[in-house]
Structure 1
């Protein structure tokens, strides 16, 4: 009789352990699936307001603008900036962009290259200039 109770206990323990491990694995797979981003050029389709700040060749640069991404790799925009105190108002620009599946992005606009990351399902983009002698960051926010 004691043997059956011990065997029943171990059977229950083994079934319980297998169940817990199976549930844990299923939860882990779901979390990993949700954590893996999946982006493409269409992720950033639409209009974005931008703010750019930094220095180029040691001089301060600030800019605000509005850019439209077409969802297939091209963009157009207009921006106003101040470079070392000299203003340029409503300057048009155009360029290209390429989005990787991991939601990193490279943007080339008016000859300047920026690398960054798309966040919050395309609601924002954080960029950094890749130009030598420039320390410039850009934040773009989706316009609703």
Structure 2
């Protein structure tokens, strides 16, 4: 009788341990899968509202607009641009390249050419950008239009 109770105890202990390890492994795999982003050009396909503010060549500027990414590395749109001496509506276009880690590079063409670096967040719902041209302190946020 005592051996049966000991066997049942050890059987229960082993089954419980295996179950706990299986659950722990499943949770670990899910966390690791969520922790490793995987992006490409198609991650930011569709329309985004844009907002940029900062300085370029010591001149204050701001712009808001709407652009559409094609999912293949190109975009186009419009924005309202204002600076210390100009206010205008512009057509904008350019190219982009997304890395697997969800960082990206953009060549933005409007009245001139701007080079931007950034990060895609929240599964492509938002993008944070900074202009990398010398003489620039310009940042921008893009939000997915639903």
Please give the TM-score of this superposition, normalised by the length of structure 2.
0.84
Report how many aligned residue pairs link the two structures: 143
| Corresponding residue of 1:9 | 9
1:3 shift after superposition:
5.0
1:14 shift after superposition:
2.8
SS in 2 for 1:86: coil
| Corresponding residue of 1:131 | 133
| Corresponding residue of 1:40 | 40
| Corresponding residue of 1:66 | 66
1:92 shift after superposition:
1.8
Structure 2: unaligned runs, 5 residues or longer? none
Query: How far apart in 1 are the matches of 2:123 and 2:3?
Result: 58
Provide the alpha-carbon RMSD of the alignment: 1.9
Map 1:71-110 onto structure 2 (within 5 A).
71-83=71-83, 85-110=84-109
Please give the TM-score of this superposition, normalised by the length of structure 1.
0.85
1:73 shift after superposition:
0.4
Query: How far apart in 1 are the matches of 2:55 and 2:88?
Result: 19
SS in 1 for 2:86: strand
Please give the per-residue CA displacement for 1:69-119, whole angstroms capped at 9, x wherever unaligned: 111101112222222x22231122221001112222111112211111122
